[in-house]
Structure 1
C-alpha cells in the first residue's frame, strides 16, 4: 500500500474514532443531565392594586412534560418536594406519561401538590404512547405523527379531578383561590390539532382578578386568539426548551411553530404574558438533554404599582 494511502487511512481512522468517542461522551453527559432538576422563578406584576389585601404575592407553580417512566424515583422525589414552596395554584400543561404503567408514578410525584388548587390540560403523550422516531425528522422540523397506542389517561384525569384539580381541556373555568378570583380557559393539544378554540372563545369574566390561558404546545395560531380575547398570561410546555440546545440554552428547534427565542421561559406575546416550561422529562426513546436541564417554575404574581 502506498505511503500516502496508509497515511490517509490512519488519519481517517483517527478522526472517525475521535468522532465516535465524542458522540458517546456527549450522549453520556446528556443522559446525566436528566436528573439535574432546576427551579426557576419569575416575578410578574399582573394584579390590580389592593387585590392581595396585604398578601405579598400569588404563587403559581408551573409543571409540565413529566414524561414519567416507572422507577424514576429521583424525579418523583424532586417534584413532590416542590410542595414546600407553598404555591397558591398549580398548573400542569400535560405530557405526564411516557409509559403505559406510569400513572401510579405520576400520582406519587404529584401527591402533595394535588392537595392544592390546580388546573391541567393534556398533551398527546397523555393520550398516546411515545414511539421511536428518526431524530433527523425532529431536527428538520418535520411533524411526527402520534403512535395512536392508547395510554390509560382516563384514570389519571379522574384522580386529578377527584383531588380537586380543574380540567381545562376545551373548557372555561372560574374559581377563587384565597383573595384572587381566577378566570381560565384551555384547549386540548394544538400540536396535533386536537384544539377547537370556538368552544371556549370570548373574553374572560371582567370580574376576575387574573385571566389565565392554558395549552400544551405554544402554537401562535392559538396564542393569538387568547391574546385577542384579553387573557393576561398563557402557560404552555411541549418544547422541552429545545432539549438539545446550543450553549446558553439556545434552542435549535422548538417542535412547534413558536420561535426559538420563546422556546422556554417568560416572554411577551403581544399584550399577553407567555410562560413556556422546558419540562421535567423526555420521551423514553430520547433520554438526553444538552444545555437544557429539566425544570419547574414558580411565578410570583404581584400587584401592579398604583
Structure 2
C-alpha cells in the first residue's frame, strides 16, 4: 500500500483550501452581482385573450450601498411590461426604503401589485447556515424595518397592496381576478380573508404570496386560481451542477424552487429566484440573481385554461 507523505497531504490540503476560497470569492463577488433577466411563457389566459407581459420581481434585499443592483433594476423599465408584480423581501437595512423606491421608480409608471415578506418586516440576522436544512428550526428576527414607509411609497405611485385583499382589475385589456396573502414564512397568512372562487368572468385569476408554502398554494388551487406568483426561495441560492438547489427554505420540493411548475391539476406556480441575498450570507452559486419577464398567453381552445405545456428560456443578463 503506497504511503502518502506529509508534504503531499499538506499540498492537497492547501489545494482544497484554495479551491474553497476561490469558490467563495466567485459566489460572493461575481455571481451575486451577475444579474440576469429570465423570460418565460405561460399559457394560462382564457382562450382568445391577447398576451400579457408581467415582470416578476422579488427578494431585492436592498441595502443603500448596492448601486449596481439599483441601476440594473432601474433599467428593467425599458422592457415596458404591462404589469409589475413584487413578491416581497425588498429591504435588508433600516435606511433602504429610498434605495428601493429609487430603483423601482421607473417601473412605477406601470400598473403594479405587491405583497411583503419577512425581510420587509424584520432586519436579517446572522444565523447558522445549517439551520436551513431544518424546516422546523426556531426563527430569530432582527429589528423592525420601516415597511409602512415602503408601502406608502408604493401606494402613492399607484401600486396595489394585495395583502389579504381580493380585487378585480383590468390591465392591457385583460381582466384579472387577484388575491394575496401576507407572508406564510412568518405565519402571517390569513387565507380565509380572501377565500372563495375568483371571478369566473376574468381572463386570468392570479394569487400572490411571498413564501410558496404548500398550505397556501393548496388553498389557491382549491379555489381555482390559474396562476400563483411567489418568491422567498432565492432559487436555493447555493446550487450544485446536475443536482440543483440544496434547500428551498420552505415547504415546497426542490424541483419547484424557481421558475414555472404545476401545482395540482390546474394551477400554475411561478417562483422567482430573486435578486438579492441576506447581508449575512452574501453569495450565490449556480443560481444567478434574477428578475423574470413572464409572457402570459391564451391556452389552446381544446385545452384547459392552464395547459400543461410551459416554455421557459433563460436569456442573458439584461
Normalising by the smaller structure, the TM-score range is: over 0.9
Q: Contact conserved, 2:40 with 2:295, CA < 8 A, in 1?
A: yes
Partner of 1:278: 273
Matches of 2:47 and 2:261 in 1, distance apart? Answer: 23
Q: Secondary structure at the match of 2:255?
A: helix
Q: Contact conserved, 2:64 with 2:93, CA < 8 A, in 1?
A: yes
Count of paired positions: 297
**Aligned in 2, Cα 1:222/1:115: closer, same or farther, shift over 3 Å?**
same
1:210 aligned to 201, 204, 218, which one? 204
Partner of 2:63: 69
Structure 2 gap ranges (5+): 302-318
Q: Secondary structure at the match of 1:149?
A: coil
**Aligned in 2, Cα 1:261/1:129: closer, same or farther, shift over 3 Å?**
same
**1:296 aligned to 2:294?**
no
Q: Contact conserved, 2:46 with 2:204, CA < 8 A, in 1?
A: no
Partner of 2:44: 46
Deviation at 1:284, TM superposition (A): 0.5
Q: Secondary structure at the match of 2:229?
A: strand
Q: Could you give the per-residue CA deviations for residues 45-83 of structure 1, whole angstroms, max 9, x where no partner exists?
A: 22223333xxxx210000000000112111111111111
Q: Could you give the per-residue CA deviations for residues 258-293 of structure 1, whole angstroms, max 9, x where no partner exists?
A: 000000011110110000000000000000000000
Matches of 2:300 and 2:132 in 1, distance apart? Answer: 44
1:252 aligned to 223, 235, 246, which one? 246
Partner of 2:125: 131
**1:20 aligned to 2:14?**
no
**Aligned in 2, Cα 1:142/1:11: closer, same or farther, shift over 3 Å?**
farther
Scaled by the length of structure 2, what TM-score is found? 0.90
Deviation at 1:15, TM superposition (A): 3.3
Q: Secondary structure at the match of 1:208?
A: coil
Matches of 1:117 and 1:199 in 2, distance apart? Answer: 24
- Taking only aligned residues, the RMSD between alpha carbons, in angstroms, comes to 1.5
Deviation at 1:35, TM superposition (A): 1.3
Q: Contact conserved, 1:59 with 1:87, CA < 8 A, in 2?
A: yes
Q: Contact conserved, 1:46 with 1:232, CA < 8 A, in 2?
A: yes
Alignment of 1:76-155 (within 5 A): 76-155=70-149
The answer to which of 136-145 and 214-223 deviates more is 136-145
Partner of 1:182: 176
Deviation at 1:140, TM superposition (A): 4.3
Deviation at 1:8, TM superposition (A): 5.3
1:197 aligned to 180, 191, 194, which one? 191
Q: Contact conserved, 2:275 with 2:291, CA < 8 A, in 1?
A: yes
Q: Contact conserved, 2:125 with 2:142, CA < 8 A, in 1?
A: no
Partner of 2:304: none
